[in-house]
Structure 1
Amino acid sequence: MRIPPLYNDKSWQRFFAGIILGMLIGWLFFLYHFGMVHEKLILELNDKKSMIEKHERTIDILRQDQDEQSQENQDKLKVQEIKVEFLNEEEVNLSEMTIHDLRGAIETELEQIRNRQIEAVAASRDLLEKAVENKIYRVGGDKQYQLKIEKFILHTTLELFVRIEPASLDRG
C-alpha cells in the first residue's frame, strides 16, 4: 500500500495553503483583540487605582476632620453652669433672700467643678453629694439649714434638685 501523491494536486495545495493562511490570520486576529482587551483592562485598572487613591485621601481628610471635631466636642463636654433648684421651697416658707443665700452657698461650694471634664465630675459624684449634704448652712445669723440632694443631673449644666431641711442640733 502506498500513499497517493496528493501533494502534487493543486486543489490539495490550495486547501493546505488556505488552512495555514487562515491559522495565521486567526492568530493575528487573536493577538490584536487580546492586545485591545489587555489595554482596556490596564486603563480600567489605572482608573480604579486613581479612584482608590482619591478615596483614601478623602478618607484621611475626613478622619482628620472627625478627630478635630471629636477634640472640640471633648472640650465642650465640660461643666459650664451649675443650677440649683429647691423642691420644697414653698413648704419651708423661707424668704427670697434666704433662698438666694442658700443657692449662692451651694454654688460657691461647687464652684471648683466648673470647667472640669464631665467624666471627672461623674467619678466624684458621691464626694460632691456628701460635700453638699454634710455641710450646715448658716443663713441670716442664727438659722441653720441642711440640704438633701434628691436628683443629680450632670451634663454641660450640673442640675441639683435639693430639699431644704432644718439643721439637727446634735450635728452642729
Structure 2
Amino acid sequence: MRIPPLYRRPAWQRFFAGMAIGGAISWCIFLYIYGVWQEENTELLRQQQENIVDLNNEKKIWQEEYKELNKRNIEKLTVQKLTIKITNSEKYKLDLLSVQETENAVHDDISMMLAKDLETVYKSRDLLKKIIENKPVKINEKRYKLKVKEMVIYTTVIIQLEIQFE
C-alpha cells in the first residue's frame, strides 16, 4: 500500500496550504478574542471584588449603628397600647355592652400611662392596681369591684381583671 502522489498536483498543494494558513489565522483570531474576553472578565471580577469589600465594610458600619440604636431604644421603650379584659363576666351573667363599657372606663382611668417609658410604668404598677381596684363599678343597678388578676407590662400593657360583688 502506498500514499497517493498528491504532492505533484498544485491544486492539492494549494488546498493543503490554504488549510494550514486558515488554521493558523483562525487560531490567532481565537486567541485574540479569548484574550480580550478574559481581560474583560478579569476586570469585571476585580470590580466586583472591590464592590463586595466596600459593601461588607458599609454593612459592618450599618450593623454597628443599628446595634447602638437598639440599645438606646430598649432603654427608652414606651407604652403604645393598653389592653383591658374582664375574664369572669359570664359568672355574673353580664351583658357584653356593660362589660365593654367597664373595660373602656378602666382604659380611660389609666390612659395616662400611654407614651410613658416602661420603667416608669413598671415602677407605678402598684398605683395602677390601686386605681383599678379602688373604683367601684355600677352595672345593672348592682355595685361591683374589680380585681387585677394579671398584668403584663411591655409596649402593650395587658391587664386581666376579675369582677366581684362589692
Give the TM-score category using the shorter length: 0.5 to 0.7
Is 1:70 aligned to residue 71 of structure 2? yes
The verdict on how the C-alpha distance between 1:91 and 1:61 changes in structure 2, with shifts beyond 3 A counting, is: closer
| Aligned residue type for 1:90 | E
**After the TM superposition, which parts of structure 1 deviate over 2 Å for at least 4 consecutive aligned residues?**
58-75
CA offsets 1:85-111 (integer angstroms, 9 cap, x no match): 222121111011110111001100110
Q: Who wins on radius of gyration, i.e. which is larger?
A: 1
TM norm structure 2:
0.58
Aligned match of 2:119: 119
Structure 1 SS opposite 2:90: helix
Letter in 1 for 2:90: E
Q: Which residue of 1 aligns with 2:134?
A: 134
Q: Who is 2:153 aligned against?
A: 154
1:80 is matched with 80
List runs of 5+ in structure 1 lacking aligned partners: 1-57, 168-172
CA RMSD of aligned residues (A): 2.6
> Shift of the alpha carbon at 1:145?
1.7
**CA 1:109 to 1:61, structure 2 compared with 1: closer, same or farther past 3 Å?**
same
Aligned with 1:89: secondary structure?
Answer: coil
Deviation, structure 1 residue 69: 3.0
Give the count of matched residue pairs.
111
Given that 1:105 and 1:137 are in contact with CA atoms closer than 8 Å, whether structure 2 keeps it comes out as no
Q: Percent identity?
A: 23
